[in-house]
């Protein structure tokens, strides 16, 4: 099943350009790269602006463009304080499926609205919605029976790479590996060990009954990956996943335990995924599962595409 995302748009002008050309663009920043990598071809997106949700699109193509500072429709943006100039090399080409303009206050958007409220606004680039939200949006508005205006970009494309030596970073071509990238990889790859995870927590339901979502906001913070039933009946089942690029110790464990307690009885437990664990400080129980991640044959002198890292990523269940 494809994923569904709401893409946050910063201004009415940008929204109009996105809808006019059925195009989404993301900046030459780690957040821009994260959004570009997180959303796949075949996924669905809507635009989010001014507490309203606009249209439903299918992602038909993803491309990263060189010399994007010269490409329409978005001009570069220079911030006065940092003097950093951002442009939009990472782009999603879309096909409009439905035409809609709906307020976020509708109960059908409650999953995303809660995330938006607890995170304090639109500073996050994109929000992944759950299956119920996607089903509801697929029945809103009306079918789009016209094709949008196409913008011929004509620029040279490239594949963004990830490096493990910070000194080799040169955006937008190469980005240093960090937690946002790992979170995206884990969200998509953790299904490979979902059966073992469910078994650890004595959950007998089939893996296909569950969906694996991105960041879930809480009053005290947010969990990196959120596992829940796609279509709960009467009650839900939640599993919370925290991801750390390096070593995890007692503070990370206690943070995860507090999130589990905050969710209440429907939360069966938490999963802490890290490169390694502090042996002296890690003391856990049945409702916390520890998983080590690693990459096969990674060198600091090399650069890797997102798909290559996905293939190299592996998990080892510790307890």
What is the per-residue pLDDT across 175-228, written as a single tens digit (0 to 9) for each? 999 999 999 999 999 999 999 999 999 999 999 999 999 988 887 788 999 999
The phi, psi pair for 108, rounded to 5°, reads -65, -20
Higher-confidence residue of 234 and 100: namely: 100
Number of H helices, E strands in the chain: 8, 21
What pLDDT is recorded for position 282? 64
Mean pLDDT of 232-238: 91
- From residue 142, alpha-carbon distances to 26, 98, 138, 183 in Å are 28, 5, 9, 35
Q: Is the peptide bond before 18 cis (omega within 30 degrees of 0)?
A: no
pLDDT band at 36 (very low <50, low <70, confident <90, very high): very high
- From residue 212, alpha-carbon distances to 28, 108, 216, 228 in Å are 27, 19, 11, 7
Q: Is 186 exposed, middle or buried (0-12, 13-18, 19+ CB in 10 A)?
A: buried
Assessment of whether the complete model's pTM goes beyond 0.75: yes
**What is the separation of C-alpha 24 from the centre of its chain, rounded to a whole number of angstroms?**
15
Q: Is the pLDDT of residue 110 over 60?
A: yes
- From residue 289, alpha-carbon distances to 24, 106, 274 in Å are 38, 36, 11
What pLDDT is recorded for position 268? 95
Of 165, 162, 102, 108, residue with least CA distance to 133: 108
Supply 11's token pair: 């201004």
Half-sphere exposure of 154 (CA within 13 A, CB side): 6
Which residues share a beta bridge with 163? 176, 303
Higher-confidence residue of 119 and 293: namely: 293
pLDDT band at 121 (very low <50, low <70, confident <90, very high): low
Share of the chain above pLDDT 70, in %: 96
Q: What is the H or E stretch that residue 34 is in?
A: helix 30-38
Least confident of 94-103, 114-123, 129-138: 114-123
Q: Is the pLDDT of residue 285 over 90?
A: no
What pLDDT is recorded for position 280? 65
Half-sphere exposure of 202 (CA within 13 A, CB side): 3
- Show the domains of the chain with their CATH numbers: 4-158 (3.10.590.10), 179-317 (3.40.1350)
How far apart (Å, rounded) are the C-alpha atoms in residues 125 and 144?
A: 25
Residue 155 is given by DSSP the state: P
Of 36, 13, 16, 34, residue with least CA distance to 25: 36
First to last CA, the chain: 30
The 10 Å Cβ neighbour count of residue 117 is 11
Half-sphere exposure of 95 (CA within 13 A, CB side): 9
How far apart (Å, rounded) are the C-alpha atoms in residues 104 and 108?
A: 8
How far apart (Å, rounded) are the C-alpha atoms in residues 262 and 218?
A: 8
What pLDDT is recorded for position 102? 97
Q: Is the pLDDT of residue 116 over 80?
A: no
Q: Is the pLDDT of residue 281 over 60?
A: no
């Amino acid at each position: 099943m494809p994923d569904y995302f709401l893409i946050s748009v910063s201004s009415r002008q940008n929204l109009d350009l996105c809808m006019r050309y059925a195009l989404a663009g993301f900046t030459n920043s780690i957040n821009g790269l994260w959004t570009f990598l997180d959303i796949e071809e075949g996924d669905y997106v809507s635009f989010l602006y001014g507490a309203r949700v606009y249209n439903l699109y299918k992602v038909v193509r993803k491309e990263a463009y060189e010399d994007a500072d010269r490409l329409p429709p978005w001009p570069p943006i220079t911030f006065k304080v940092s003097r950093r100039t951002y442009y939009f090399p990472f782009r999603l080409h879309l096909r409009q499926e439905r035409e809609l303009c709906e307020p976020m206050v509708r109960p059908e958007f409650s999953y995303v609205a809660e995330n938006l409220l607890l995170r304090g606004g639109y500073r996050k680039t994109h929000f992944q919605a759950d299956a119920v939200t996607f089903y509801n949006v697929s029945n809103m508005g009306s079918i789009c029976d016209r094709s949008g205006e196409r913008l011929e970009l004509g620029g040279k494309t490239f594949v963004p790479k990830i490096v493990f030596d910070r000194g080799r970073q040169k955006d937008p071509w190469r980005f240093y590996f960090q937690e946002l990238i790992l979170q995206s990889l884990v969200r998509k790859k953790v299904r490979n060990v979902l059966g073992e995870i469910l078994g650890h927590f004595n959950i007998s339901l089939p893996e296909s009954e569950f969906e694996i979502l991105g960041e879930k906001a809480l009053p005290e913070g947010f969990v990196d990956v959120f596992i829940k039933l796609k279509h709960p009946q009467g009650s839900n089942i939640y599993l919370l996943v925290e991801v750390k690029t390096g070593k995890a110790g007692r503070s990370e464990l206690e943070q995860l335990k507090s999130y589990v307690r905050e969710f209440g009885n429907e939360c069966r437990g938490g999963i802490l995924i890290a490169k390694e664990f502090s042996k002296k400080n890690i003391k856990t129980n049945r409702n916390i599962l520890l998983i080590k991640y690693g990459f096969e044959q990674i060198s600091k002198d090399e650069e890797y595409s997102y798909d290559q890292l996905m293939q190299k990523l592996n998990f080892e269940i510790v307890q």
